Protein backbone atom coordinates (compact mmCIF):
# COMPACT_ATOMS: atom_id res chain seq x y z
CA UNK A 1 0.00 0.00 0.00
CA UNK A 2 1.18 3.54 -0.63
CA UNK A 3 2.35 5.72 2.22
CA UNK A 4 -0.70 7.95 2.37
CA UNK A 5 -3.06 4.97 2.56
CA UNK A 6 -0.87 3.38 5.22
CA UNK A 7 -1.26 6.48 7.38
CA UNK A 8 -4.96 6.93 6.71
CA UNK A 9 -5.76 3.32 7.59
CA UNK A 10 -3.83 3.48 10.86
CA UNK A 11 -1.16 1.01 9.77
CA UNK A 12 1.82 3.22 10.60
CA UNK A 13 3.89 2.79 13.75
CA UNK A 14 5.17 5.62 15.91
CA UNK A 15 8.31 5.64 18.03
CA UNK A 16 9.22 8.55 20.30
CA UNK A 17 12.59 8.66 22.03
CA UNK A 18 13.73 11.16 24.66
CA UNK A 19 17.43 11.69 24.04
CA UNK A 20 19.68 13.93 26.08
CA UNK A 21 19.45 16.94 23.77
CA UNK A 22 16.67 16.02 21.35
CA UNK A 23 13.34 14.27 21.46
CA UNK A 24 12.54 12.57 18.18
CA UNK A 25 9.40 10.97 16.79
CA UNK A 26 9.65 8.62 13.81
CA UNK A 27 6.67 7.20 11.92
CA UNK A 28 7.31 4.01 9.94
CA UNK A 29 5.43 1.39 7.95
CA UNK A 30 5.55 -2.33 8.73
CA UNK A 31 8.78 -2.72 6.75
CA UNK A 32 10.59 -0.05 8.72
CA UNK A 33 10.45 2.61 6.00
CA UNK A 34 10.40 6.12 7.47
CA UNK A 35 7.20 8.03 6.67
CA UNK A 36 7.69 11.17 8.76
CA UNK A 37 9.86 12.66 11.49
CA UNK A 38 9.21 15.18 14.26
CA UNK A 39 11.75 16.68 16.66
CA UNK A 40 12.11 18.92 19.69
CA UNK A 41 15.39 20.20 21.13
CA UNK A 42 15.85 20.32 24.87
CA UNK A 43 18.63 20.30 27.44
CA UNK A 44 19.07 19.15 31.01
CA UNK A 45 19.95 21.63 33.73
CA UNK A 46 22.14 21.42 36.81
CA UNK A 47 19.91 22.55 39.68
CA UNK A 48 20.99 22.27 43.31
CA UNK A 49 23.74 19.88 42.26
CA UNK A 50 21.35 17.58 40.35
CA UNK A 51 21.09 17.13 36.57
CA UNK A 52 17.37 17.27 35.79
CA UNK A 53 14.54 18.01 33.37
CA UNK A 54 11.32 19.47 34.74
CA UNK A 55 7.87 17.96 34.26
CA UNK A 56 7.11 20.97 32.07
CA UNK A 57 10.16 20.16 29.94
CA UNK A 58 8.94 16.59 29.47
CA UNK A 59 5.36 17.56 28.66
CA UNK A 60 6.30 20.36 26.28
CA UNK A 61 8.91 18.20 24.59
CA UNK A 62 6.54 15.28 24.05
CA UNK A 63 3.74 17.45 22.70
CA UNK A 64 5.99 19.54 20.47
CA UNK A 65 7.61 16.43 19.02
CA UNK A 66 4.21 14.97 18.19
CA UNK A 67 3.00 18.32 16.84
CA UNK A 68 6.06 18.50 14.60
CA UNK A 69 5.49 14.95 13.37
CA UNK A 70 1.77 15.50 12.68
CA UNK A 71 2.60 18.70 10.78
CA UNK A 72 5.13 16.79 8.67
CA UNK A 73 2.48 14.17 7.85
CA UNK A 74 -0.04 16.84 6.91
CA UNK A 75 2.47 18.67 4.72
CA UNK A 76 3.86 15.57 3.00
CA UNK A 77 0.68 13.53 2.55
CA UNK A 78 -2.15 16.03 2.94
CA UNK A 79 -3.91 13.99 5.65
CA UNK A 80 -4.25 14.38 9.43
CA UNK A 81 -2.67 11.85 11.75
CA UNK A 82 -5.75 10.27 13.35
CA UNK A 83 -4.98 6.57 13.70
CA UNK A 84 -1.85 4.58 14.48
CA UNK A 85 -1.03 0.89 14.38
CA UNK A 86 1.06 1.01 17.57
CA UNK A 87 3.21 3.36 19.61
CA UNK A 88 6.45 2.87 21.50
CA UNK A 89 8.17 5.18 23.98
CA UNK A 90 11.89 5.16 24.63
CA UNK A 91 14.23 7.35 26.64
CA UNK A 92 17.60 7.63 28.32
CA UNK A 93 17.95 4.69 30.69
CA UNK A 94 18.37 4.78 34.46
CA UNK A 95 17.68 7.77 36.68
CA UNK A 96 15.02 8.26 39.32
CA UNK A 97 11.40 9.39 39.15
CA UNK A 98 9.52 8.74 42.41
CA UNK A 99 5.79 9.29 42.97
CA UNK A 100 3.43 9.14 45.93
CA UNK A 101 -0.07 7.63 46.18
CA UNK A 102 -1.53 10.77 44.56
CA UNK A 103 0.80 10.29 41.57
CA UNK A 104 2.72 13.42 42.57
CA UNK A 105 6.44 13.69 41.82
CA UNK A 106 8.25 13.63 45.15
CA UNK A 107 11.63 15.07 44.14
CA UNK A 108 12.95 16.54 40.86
CA UNK A 109 13.81 13.96 38.22
CA UNK A 110 17.36 12.68 38.78
CA UNK A 111 18.78 11.71 35.40
CA UNK A 112 21.40 9.12 34.45
CA UNK A 113 23.95 11.95 34.30
CA UNK A 114 24.16 12.28 38.08
CA UNK A 115 27.11 10.66 39.83
CA UNK A 116 25.68 11.19 43.34
CA UNK A 117 25.03 7.62 44.47
CA UNK A 118 28.55 6.34 45.07
CA UNK A 119 28.02 4.86 48.56
CA UNK A 120 24.75 3.17 47.53
CA UNK A 121 26.21 1.75 44.31
CA UNK A 122 29.24 0.37 46.19
CA UNK A 123 27.12 -1.24 48.93
CA UNK A 124 24.71 -2.83 46.48
CA UNK A 125 27.52 -4.11 44.26
CA UNK A 126 29.02 -5.88 47.28
CA UNK A 127 25.62 -7.12 48.46
CA UNK A 128 24.66 -8.60 45.07
CA UNK A 129 28.17 -9.49 43.81
CA UNK A 130 26.89 -7.77 40.68
CA UNK A 131 27.94 -4.40 39.30
CA UNK A 132 25.45 -1.65 40.20
CA UNK A 133 26.51 1.61 38.50
CA UNK A 134 25.77 4.94 40.11
CA UNK A 135 23.19 5.93 37.51
CA UNK A 136 20.96 2.87 38.04
CA UNK A 137 17.52 3.48 39.50
CA UNK A 138 18.02 1.13 42.44
CA UNK A 139 21.23 3.01 43.35
CA UNK A 140 19.29 6.29 43.38
CA UNK A 141 16.58 4.75 45.53
CA UNK A 142 19.02 3.25 48.02
CA UNK A 143 21.07 6.46 48.16
CA UNK A 144 17.90 8.38 49.04
CA UNK A 145 17.38 5.85 51.86
CA UNK A 146 20.99 6.26 53.07
CA UNK A 147 20.58 10.04 52.95
CA UNK A 148 17.49 9.81 55.12
CA UNK A 149 15.49 11.80 52.58
CA UNK A 150 11.98 12.45 53.96
CA UNK A 151 10.21 11.63 50.70
CA UNK A 152 11.21 7.97 50.74
CA UNK A 153 8.43 6.66 53.00
CA UNK A 154 5.83 8.26 50.71
CA UNK A 155 7.00 6.36 47.63
CA UNK A 156 4.42 4.29 45.78
CA UNK A 157 6.01 4.11 42.32
CA UNK A 158 9.56 4.48 41.03
CA UNK A 159 10.34 4.47 37.32
CA UNK A 160 12.51 5.73 34.47
CA UNK A 161 11.73 8.52 32.01
CA UNK A 162 10.38 6.08 29.40
CA UNK A 163 8.31 4.33 32.05
CA UNK A 164 6.88 7.66 33.22
CA UNK A 165 5.82 8.83 29.75
CA UNK A 166 4.33 5.41 28.97
CA UNK A 167 2.39 5.55 32.25
CA UNK A 168 1.03 9.02 31.39
CA UNK A 169 -0.22 7.78 28.02
CA UNK A 170 -1.54 4.33 28.98
CA UNK A 171 -1.96 4.22 32.75
CA UNK A 172 0.30 1.12 32.82
CA UNK A 173 3.24 0.93 35.26
CA UNK A 174 5.50 -1.27 33.15
CA UNK A 175 8.96 -1.35 31.56
CA UNK A 176 10.55 -3.28 28.76
CA UNK A 177 13.14 -5.72 30.09
CA UNK A 178 16.01 -3.76 28.53
CA UNK A 179 15.08 -0.57 30.36
CA UNK A 180 14.27 -2.57 33.49
CA UNK A 181 17.78 -4.03 33.41
CA UNK A 182 19.04 -0.53 34.24
CA UNK A 183 16.64 -0.31 37.16
CA UNK A 184 17.46 -3.57 38.96
CA UNK A 185 19.42 -6.70 37.92
CA UNK A 186 17.52 -9.06 35.62
CA UNK A 187 17.55 -12.85 35.69
CA UNK A 188 18.04 -13.77 32.02
CA UNK A 189 16.26 -17.11 32.54
CA UNK A 190 13.04 -15.71 34.04
CA UNK A 191 13.47 -12.30 32.32
CA UNK A 192 12.26 -10.67 35.52
CA UNK A 193 14.02 -8.86 38.36
CA UNK A 194 16.50 -11.28 39.94
CA UNK A 195 14.53 -12.85 42.81
CA UNK A 196 17.56 -13.63 44.97
CA UNK A 197 18.94 -10.11 44.72
CA UNK A 198 15.50 -8.65 45.33
CA UNK A 199 15.24 -10.66 48.55
CA UNK A 200 18.67 -9.44 49.65
CA UNK A 201 17.61 -5.85 49.04
CA UNK A 202 14.36 -6.26 50.95
CA UNK A 203 16.29 -7.71 53.88
CA UNK A 204 18.81 -4.87 53.67
CA UNK A 205 16.11 -2.23 54.17
CA UNK A 206 13.78 -4.25 56.43
CA UNK A 207 14.83 -2.41 59.59
CA UNK A 208 13.71 0.89 58.04
CA UNK A 209 10.10 -0.35 58.21
CA UNK A 210 8.94 1.45 55.08
CA UNK A 211 5.31 1.20 54.01
CA UNK A 212 6.40 -0.37 50.71
CA UNK A 213 8.67 -3.05 49.27
CA UNK A 214 10.90 -2.62 46.25
CA UNK A 215 8.95 -5.26 44.36
CA UNK A 216 5.76 -3.26 44.94
CA UNK A 217 7.07 0.11 43.76
CA UNK A 218 9.19 -0.93 40.76
CA UNK A 219 7.53 -1.27 37.32
CA UNK A 220 6.34 -4.64 36.01
CA UNK A 221 8.79 -6.17 33.52
CA UNK A 222 7.69 -7.04 29.97
CA UNK A 223 9.57 -8.37 26.94
CA UNK A 224 9.60 -7.26 23.32
CA UNK A 225 6.40 -8.39 21.63
CA UNK A 226 4.31 -8.21 24.81
CA UNK A 227 1.25 -5.97 24.84
CA UNK A 228 1.84 -3.03 27.19
CA UNK A 229 -1.52 -1.24 27.26
CA UNK A 230 -3.35 1.14 24.97
CA UNK A 231 -3.57 4.90 24.55
CA UNK A 232 -6.23 6.13 26.94
CA UNK A 233 -8.50 9.07 26.20
CA UNK A 234 -6.53 11.11 28.73
CA UNK A 235 -3.29 9.91 27.17
CA UNK A 236 -4.45 10.89 23.68
CA UNK A 237 -5.33 14.37 24.92
CA UNK A 238 -1.95 14.60 26.65
CA UNK A 239 -0.01 13.56 23.55
CA UNK A 240 -2.12 15.49 21.04
CA UNK A 241 -3.97 18.41 22.65
CA UNK A 242 -5.69 19.16 19.32
CA UNK A 243 -7.87 16.09 19.86
CA UNK A 244 -7.12 14.70 16.38
CA UNK A 245 -5.42 11.47 17.47
CA UNK A 246 -7.84 8.70 18.41
CA UNK A 247 -7.46 6.72 21.65
CA UNK A 248 -7.10 2.92 21.77
CA UNK A 249 -3.72 2.65 20.03
CA UNK A 250 -1.78 -0.38 21.38
CA UNK A 251 1.64 0.21 22.96
CA UNK A 252 4.75 -1.95 23.04
CA UNK A 253 6.77 -2.03 26.29
CA UNK A 254 8.67 1.23 26.92
CA UNK A 255 12.38 0.76 26.38
CA UNK A 256 15.68 2.41 27.16
CA UNK A 257 17.97 3.89 24.56
CA UNK A 258 20.32 0.91 24.83
CA UNK A 259 17.58 -1.50 23.75
CA UNK A 260 16.35 0.71 20.93
CA UNK A 261 19.93 1.15 19.79
CA UNK A 262 20.35 -2.63 19.61
CA UNK A 263 17.12 -2.88 17.64
CA UNK A 264 18.04 -0.05 15.29
CA UNK A 265 21.31 -1.78 14.43
CA UNK A 266 20.01 -5.37 14.30
CA UNK A 267 22.31 -6.18 17.20
CA UNK A 268 20.04 -8.32 19.37
CA UNK A 269 21.56 -11.73 18.55
CA UNK A 270 24.46 -13.46 20.29
CA UNK A 271 27.93 -12.18 19.24
CA UNK A 272 26.50 -8.98 17.78
CA UNK A 273 27.28 -5.54 19.14
CA UNK A 274 26.63 -1.88 18.64
CA UNK A 275 27.97 1.47 19.69
CA UNK A 276 25.52 4.29 20.30
CA UNK A 277 27.23 7.67 20.25
CA UNK A 278 25.42 10.88 21.12
CA UNK A 279 25.58 13.00 24.26
CA UNK A 280 26.68 9.81 26.01
CA UNK A 281 28.18 6.74 24.39
CA UNK A 282 27.81 3.08 25.10
CA UNK A 283 28.93 -0.15 23.53
CA UNK A 284 26.70 -3.22 23.81
CA UNK A 285 27.78 -6.80 23.12
CA UNK A 286 25.32 -9.71 23.35
CA UNK A 287 27.17 -12.44 25.23
CA UNK A 288 27.62 -16.14 24.56
CA UNK A 289 28.40 -16.72 28.24
CA UNK A 290 28.65 -14.63 31.40
CA UNK A 291 31.80 -12.64 32.09
CA UNK A 292 34.38 -14.48 34.18
CA UNK A 293 34.19 -11.97 37.01
CA UNK A 294 32.60 -8.74 38.15
CA UNK A 295 33.94 -5.57 36.52
CA UNK A 296 32.89 -2.26 38.04
CA UNK A 297 33.45 -0.61 34.64
CA UNK A 298 31.04 -2.96 32.80
CA UNK A 299 27.25 -3.00 33.15
CA UNK A 300 25.29 -6.20 32.67
CA UNK A 301 21.97 -5.41 30.97
CA UNK A 302 19.72 -7.16 28.44
CA UNK A 303 18.37 -6.99 24.92
CA UNK A 304 14.68 -6.02 24.52
CA UNK A 305 13.89 -9.74 24.56
CA UNK A 306 16.01 -10.50 27.62
CA UNK A 307 19.39 -11.84 26.43
CA UNK A 308 22.38 -10.81 28.59
CA UNK A 309 24.58 -8.00 27.31
CA UNK A 310 27.78 -6.41 28.48
CA UNK A 311 27.72 -2.64 28.26
CA UNK A 312 30.54 -0.15 28.51
CA UNK A 313 28.94 3.23 29.18
CA UNK A 314 30.60 6.63 28.88
CA UNK A 315 28.71 9.64 30.25
CA UNK A 316 30.34 12.07 27.82
CA UNK A 317 30.64 11.90 24.04
CA UNK A 318 29.50 14.60 21.61
CA UNK A 319 28.83 17.59 23.90
CA UNK A 320 32.38 18.90 23.53
CA UNK A 321 32.31 18.46 19.75
CA UNK A 322 29.08 20.46 19.66
CA UNK A 323 30.62 23.23 21.76
CA UNK A 324 33.64 23.60 19.48
CA UNK A 325 31.55 23.54 16.31
CA UNK A 326 29.33 26.24 17.81
CA UNK A 327 32.41 28.34 18.52
CA UNK A 328 33.72 27.94 14.96
CA UNK A 329 30.29 28.91 13.63
CA UNK A 330 30.38 32.07 15.73
CA UNK A 331 33.84 32.92 14.35
CA UNK A 332 32.61 32.53 10.79
CA UNK A 333 29.52 34.62 11.46
CA UNK A 334 31.70 37.35 12.96
CA UNK A 335 33.32 37.66 9.53
CA UNK A 336 29.96 37.66 7.79
CA UNK A 337 30.16 34.08 6.53
CA UNK A 338 26.94 32.08 6.60
CA UNK A 339 27.52 28.35 6.90
CA UNK A 340 24.85 25.79 7.68
CA UNK A 341 25.47 23.90 10.91
CA UNK A 342 25.20 20.51 9.21
CA UNK A 343 27.65 21.55 6.50
CA UNK A 344 30.06 22.84 9.14
CA UNK A 345 30.01 19.52 11.02
CA UNK A 346 30.64 17.62 7.77
CA UNK A 347 33.57 19.80 6.69
CA UNK A 348 35.20 19.78 10.12
CA UNK A 349 34.82 16.01 10.48
CA UNK A 350 36.28 15.48 6.99
CA UNK A 351 39.11 17.87 7.86
CA UNK A 352 40.01 15.63 10.81
CA UNK A 353 40.96 12.87 8.37
CA UNK A 354 43.98 14.98 7.42
CA UNK A 355 45.22 14.96 11.03
CA UNK A 356 47.91 12.75 12.45
CA UNK A 357 46.77 9.28 13.53
CA UNK A 358 48.22 9.74 17.04
CA UNK A 359 46.44 13.05 17.73
CA UNK A 360 49.70 15.02 17.46
CA UNK A 361 49.96 15.73 21.20
CA UNK A 362 46.52 17.31 21.60
CA UNK A 363 44.34 15.98 24.43
CA UNK A 364 40.78 17.22 24.98
CA UNK A 365 38.60 15.93 27.82
CA UNK A 366 34.93 16.58 27.06
CA UNK A 367 33.95 15.77 30.64
CA UNK A 368 30.81 17.82 31.15
CA UNK A 369 29.83 15.39 33.89
CA UNK A 370 31.60 12.66 35.83
CA UNK A 371 33.07 9.69 33.98
CA UNK A 372 32.95 6.41 35.89
CA UNK A 373 35.07 4.52 33.34
CA UNK A 374 38.03 6.74 34.19
CA UNK A 375 37.19 7.39 37.84
CA UNK A 376 35.59 10.85 37.90
CA UNK A 377 32.49 11.79 39.89
CA UNK A 378 32.56 15.28 38.35
CA UNK A 379 33.88 16.66 35.10
CA UNK A 380 35.38 19.86 33.68
CA UNK A 381 35.68 20.29 29.91
CA UNK A 382 39.38 20.73 29.31
CA UNK A 383 41.82 21.03 26.41
CA UNK A 384 45.52 20.29 26.94
CA UNK A 385 48.44 20.00 24.54
CA UNK A 386 52.14 19.30 24.64
CA UNK A 387 54.52 22.16 23.87
CA UNK A 388 55.80 20.40 20.74
CA UNK A 389 52.38 19.42 19.40
CA UNK A 390 51.29 20.13 15.84
CA UNK A 391 48.48 22.56 16.61
CA UNK A 392 46.39 22.90 13.46
CA UNK A 393 42.72 22.47 12.59
CA UNK A 394 43.02 18.91 11.25
CA UNK A 395 44.84 17.64 14.35
CA UNK A 396 42.52 19.62 16.61
CA UNK A 397 39.37 18.09 15.14
CA UNK A 398 40.87 14.61 15.04
CA UNK A 399 41.78 14.82 18.72
CA UNK A 400 38.32 16.10 19.67
CA UNK A 401 36.59 13.25 17.81
CA UNK A 402 39.09 10.73 19.20
CA UNK A 403 38.49 12.00 22.72
CA UNK A 404 34.72 11.56 22.35
CA UNK A 405 35.53 7.82 22.25
CA UNK A 406 38.29 7.90 24.89
CA UNK A 407 36.34 6.71 27.93
CA UNK A 408 34.44 4.19 25.83
CA UNK A 409 37.74 2.78 24.58
CA UNK A 410 38.74 2.11 28.20
CA UNK A 411 35.63 -0.05 28.63
CA UNK A 412 36.04 -1.83 25.29
CA UNK A 413 39.61 -2.76 26.19
CA UNK A 414 38.29 -4.56 29.28
CA UNK A 415 35.89 -6.62 27.16
CA UNK A 416 38.66 -7.42 24.69
CA UNK A 417 40.91 -8.63 27.49
CA UNK A 418 38.01 -10.77 28.77
CA UNK A 419 37.89 -12.46 25.34
CA UNK A 420 34.38 -11.30 24.43
CA UNK A 421 33.77 -12.25 20.79
CA UNK A 422 31.93 -9.99 18.35
CA UNK A 423 31.05 -10.96 14.78
CA UNK A 424 29.54 -7.59 13.89
CA UNK A 425 29.77 -4.13 15.46
CA UNK A 426 27.32 -1.48 14.26
CA UNK A 427 27.56 2.23 15.00
CA UNK A 428 24.64 4.63 15.26
CA UNK A 429 23.84 8.04 16.64
CA UNK A 430 24.83 11.59 15.79
CA UNK A 431 28.58 10.94 15.89
CA UNK A 432 28.30 8.78 12.77
CA UNK A 433 26.36 11.17 10.54
CA UNK A 434 29.44 12.16 8.49
CA UNK A 435 30.26 9.07 6.49
CA UNK A 436 33.75 7.65 6.67
CA UNK A 437 35.00 9.47 9.77
CA UNK A 438 33.83 8.36 13.23
CA UNK A 439 33.23 4.76 12.18
CA UNK A 440 36.79 4.58 10.83
CA UNK A 441 38.22 5.94 14.07
CA UNK A 442 36.09 3.52 16.09
CA UNK A 443 37.18 0.57 13.95
CA UNK A 444 40.79 1.61 14.51
CA UNK A 445 40.15 1.94 18.26
CA UNK A 446 38.54 -1.47 18.79
CA UNK A 447 40.48 -3.33 16.07
CA UNK A 448 37.28 -4.62 14.46
CA UNK A 449 35.05 -3.69 11.48
CA UNK A 450 32.34 -1.12 12.21
CA UNK A 451 29.21 -0.83 10.05
CA UNK A 452 26.93 2.18 9.93
CA UNK A 453 23.47 1.58 8.50
CA UNK A 454 21.61 4.20 6.49
CA UNK A 455 19.06 4.40 9.32
CA UNK A 456 21.79 5.40 11.79
CA UNK A 457 20.70 9.03 11.79
CA UNK A 458 17.21 8.06 12.97
CA UNK A 459 18.69 6.08 15.87
CA UNK A 460 16.62 4.91 18.79
CA UNK A 461 13.37 6.62 17.76
CA UNK A 462 13.35 4.41 14.69
CA UNK A 463 14.31 1.45 16.88
CA UNK A 464 11.36 1.87 19.24
CA UNK A 465 9.04 2.34 16.24
CA UNK A 466 10.31 -1.03 14.95
CA UNK A 467 9.60 -2.59 18.36
CA UNK A 468 6.06 -1.18 18.17
CA UNK A 469 5.65 -2.76 14.74
CA UNK A 470 7.07 -6.06 16.01
CA UNK A 471 4.45 -6.21 18.75
CA UNK A 472 1.66 -5.37 16.32
CA UNK A 473 2.42 -7.56 13.30
CA UNK A 474 4.75 -10.37 14.32
CA UNK A 475 3.75 -13.93 13.57
CA UNK A 476 3.06 -16.37 16.38
CA UNK A 477 6.30 -17.44 18.13
CA UNK A 478 8.38 -15.20 15.83
CA UNK A 479 11.41 -13.97 17.76
CA UNK A 480 12.77 -10.45 17.63
CA UNK A 481 15.98 -11.51 15.79
CA UNK A 482 13.87 -13.45 13.26
CA UNK A 483 11.59 -10.45 12.73
CA UNK A 484 14.48 -8.04 12.26
CA UNK A 485 16.38 -10.29 9.86
CA UNK A 486 13.36 -11.26 7.77
CA UNK A 487 11.14 -8.17 7.84
CA UNK A 488 13.23 -5.08 8.56
CA UNK A 489 16.86 -5.44 7.53
CA UNK A 490 16.93 -7.37 4.21
CA UNK A 491 18.27 -5.01 1.57
CA UNK A 492 18.97 -2.24 4.05
CA UNK A 493 22.02 -0.30 2.95
CA UNK A 494 25.07 0.72 4.95
CA UNK A 495 28.84 1.07 4.82
CA UNK A 496 31.62 -0.64 6.73
CA UNK A 497 34.98 0.67 7.93
CA UNK A 498 37.80 -1.82 8.35
CA UNK A 499 40.53 -1.14 10.93
CA UNK A 500 43.82 0.08 9.48
CA UNK A 501 46.97 -1.05 11.24
CA UNK A 502 48.81 2.28 11.13
CA UNK A 503 45.77 4.22 12.35
CA UNK A 504 45.06 1.66 15.07
CA UNK A 505 48.63 2.12 16.29
CA UNK A 506 48.09 5.88 16.24
CA UNK A 507 44.90 5.63 18.29
CA UNK A 508 46.70 3.52 20.89
CA UNK A 509 49.39 6.23 21.16
CA UNK A 510 46.66 8.84 21.60
CA UNK A 511 45.16 6.74 24.40
CA UNK A 512 48.54 6.46 26.13
CA UNK A 513 48.62 10.25 26.47
CA UNK A 514 44.88 10.36 27.25
CA UNK A 515 45.40 8.02 30.22
CA UNK A 516 48.64 9.66 31.32
CA UNK A 517 47.09 13.15 31.40
CA UNK A 518 44.04 12.19 33.47
CA UNK A 519 45.63 13.82 36.54
CA UNK A 520 45.36 17.13 34.65
CA UNK A 521 41.59 16.62 34.37
CA UNK A 522 41.48 15.69 38.04
CA UNK A 523 43.30 18.87 38.97
CA UNK A 524 40.76 20.86 36.96
CA UNK A 525 37.88 19.21 38.84
CA UNK A 526 39.50 19.91 42.20
CA UNK A 527 40.53 23.50 41.49
CA UNK A 528 37.76 24.86 39.22
CA UNK A 529 34.73 24.88 41.52
Sequence ranges of the domains in the chain? 319-403+502-527
pTM of the model: 0.82
pLDDT, tens only, 78-131: 999 999 999 999 999 999 999 999 999 999 999 998 989 999 999 999 999 999
Residue 418 burial by Cβ neighbours in a 10 Å radius (0-12, 13-18, 19+): middle
φ, ψ of residue 399 to 5 degrees: the values are -65, -35
Find all residues with CB under 8 Å of 42, minimum gap 6, and list them: 21, 22, 23, 53, 57, 61
C-alpha 391: how far from chain center: 33
CB 31 within 8 A of CB 466: no
Give every residue of the chain whose pLDDT is below 70, as ranges: 455-458, 491-492
pLDDT at residue 289 in the model:
78
CB atoms closer than 10 angstroms to residue 69: 25
Cα–Cα distance list, 418 to 291, 292, 294, 517 (Å): 7, 8, 11, 26
Each residue of 217-264: pLDDT tens digit? 999 999 999 999 999 999 999 999 999 999 999 999 999 998 998 998
If phi over 0 gives left and psi between -120 and 50 gives alpha, with beta otherwise, what is residue 360? left
Spatial contact of 145 and 408, defined as CB atoms under 8 Å apart: no
Residue 159 CA to residue 167 CA, distance in Å, equals 9
**pLDDT the model gives residue 87:** 98
CA distance 33 to 466: 10
DSSP code for 219: P
d(CA 143, CA 1): 53
pLDDT for 529 equals 87
DSSP for residue 430: G
| Of 26, 23, 33, residue with least CA distance to 1 | 33
Amino acid sequence: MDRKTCIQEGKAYLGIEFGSTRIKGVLIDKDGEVLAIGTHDWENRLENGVWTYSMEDITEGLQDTYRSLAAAVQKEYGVPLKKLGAIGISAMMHGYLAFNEKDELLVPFRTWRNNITGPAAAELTELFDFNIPERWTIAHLYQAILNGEPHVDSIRFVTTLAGFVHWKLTGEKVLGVGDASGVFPIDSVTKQYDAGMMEKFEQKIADRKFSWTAKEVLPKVLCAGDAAGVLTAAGAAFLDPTGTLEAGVPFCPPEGDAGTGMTATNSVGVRTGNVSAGTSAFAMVVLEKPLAKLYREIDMVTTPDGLPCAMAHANNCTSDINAWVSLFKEVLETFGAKVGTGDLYTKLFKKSLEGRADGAGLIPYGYYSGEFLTGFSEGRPLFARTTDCEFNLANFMRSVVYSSMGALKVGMDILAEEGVAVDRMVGHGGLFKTEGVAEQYLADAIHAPVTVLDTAGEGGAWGIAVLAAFMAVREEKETLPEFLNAKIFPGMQGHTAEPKAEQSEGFEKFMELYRAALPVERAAVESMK
